[in-house]
């Protein structure tokens, strides 16, 4: 069962979306658990990365939908976001937080069904390449396709993503076991590298994006061999 969040202060609009979710579930023999939040602050106050799709109204009291989406993206890189508003001019800003789509009020079922299906499809695709980590007393979900490398400094793990960093307490060897399935390689005792972002290797250094990391002497031969194998095999896959 997929969890769906509706962040909407207007009762009629929220009821309409709930009815559309039920109608879609019946039409496609699916089950969804939809939860309605009256404001973004309630939604974010104890957020857990359990939702597949979030319907986010833009104009709400307190934190507006755009600000809420930015905060949401900091802790959940995978969830599909669909904005709702009666102001079309907000649609362009949705791309800044990787929103899947935009629904204009009053929302028709036809428009809803098309964009809900798209959001679910994108979530499933992202879910297959995402991991969940404990973060600030809760859970954060990140896409391995956006994770460039993981670094450990004094028992603190730093997840370096293309759109920001996450810092938690942890053990790199445990992270290495989890990320091995996604092709991540250890270049020394401090770094796990995503080969998708390797730009080049020169001597004892590997360039990951625009960052240069050290390859330890004991790990160099194995790292280069594993990197070559990745390029020959997994590197050709999307």
Domain of residue 90 covers 2-127
Calculate ∠ Cα 182-172-69, nearest 5°: 65
Predicted confidence (pLDDT) per residue in 104-141, tens digit: 999 999 999 999 999 999 998 888 788 888 877 677 88
Given 92, 127, 162, which residue is the final one in a domain?
Answer: 127
Domain match, 76 and 168 both: no
How many CA atoms lie less than 13 Å away from 198 in the CB half-sphere?
26
Looking up residue 40, the CATH number of its domain turns out to be 3.40.50.2300
Range scoring the smallest mean pLDDT among 63-72, 106-115, 131-140, 181-190:
131-140
Residue 150's alpha-carbon distances to 17, 78, 94, 109, in angstroms, are 39, 18, 28, 43
Predicted confidence (pLDDT) per residue in 132-174, tens digit: 888 776 778 888 988 999 999 998 999 999 888 999 998 999 9
Q: Is residue 138 part of a domain?
A: no
Number of structural domains found in the chain: 2
The answer on 205 and 92 residing in a single domain is no
Are residues 116 and 189 located together in one domain of the fold?
A: no
In this structure, is residue 140 part of a structural domain?
no
Confidence class of residue 236 from pLDDT cuts 50, 70 and 90?
Answer: very low
Last residue of a domain, one of 99, 127, 155: 127
> What pLDDT, in 10s, does the model give residues 219-233?
999 999 999 998 887
Q: Are 166 and 156 in contact (CB under 8 A)?
A: no
Q: Is residue 6 part of a domain?
A: yes
Which pLDDT band, with edges at 50, 70 and 90, does 23 fall under? very high
Considering the domain boundaries, does residue 35 fall inside one?
yes
User: Does the model's pTM come out above 0.85?
Assistant: no
Residue 202 CB neighbour total at 10 angstroms? 9
Residue ending a domain, choose from 93, 127, 161? 127
């Amino acid at each position: 069962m997929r969890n769906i969040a509706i962040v909407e202060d207007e009762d009629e609009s929220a009821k309409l979306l709930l009815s559309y979710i039920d109608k879609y579930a019946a039409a496609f023999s699916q089950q969804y658990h939809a939860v309605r939040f009256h404001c973004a602050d309630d939604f974010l106050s104890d957020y857990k990365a359990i939702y597949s799709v979030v319907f986010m109204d833009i104009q709400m009291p307190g934190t507006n939908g755009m600000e809420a989406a930015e905060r949401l993206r900091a802790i959940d890189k995978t969830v599909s976001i669909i904005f709702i508003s009666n102001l079309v001019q907000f649609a362009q800003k949705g791309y800044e937080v990787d929103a899947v789509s935009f629904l204009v009020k009053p929302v028709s079922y036809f428009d809803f069904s098309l964009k809900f299906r798209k959001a679910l499809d994108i979530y499933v695709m992202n879910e297959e390449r995402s991991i969940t980590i404990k973060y600030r007393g809760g859970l954060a979900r990140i896409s391995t396709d956006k994770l460039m490398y993981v670094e450990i400094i004094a028992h603190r793990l730093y997840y370096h993503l293309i759109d920001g960093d996450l810092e938690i307490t942890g053990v790199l060897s445990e992270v290495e076991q989890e990320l091995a399935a996604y092709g991540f390689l250890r270049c020394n005792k401090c770094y796990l590298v995503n080969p998708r972002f390797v730009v080049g290797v020169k001597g004892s250094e590997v360039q990951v994006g625009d960052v240069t990391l050290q390859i330890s002497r004991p790990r160099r031969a194995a790292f280069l061999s594993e990197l070559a194998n990745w390029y020959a095999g997994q590197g050709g896959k999307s």
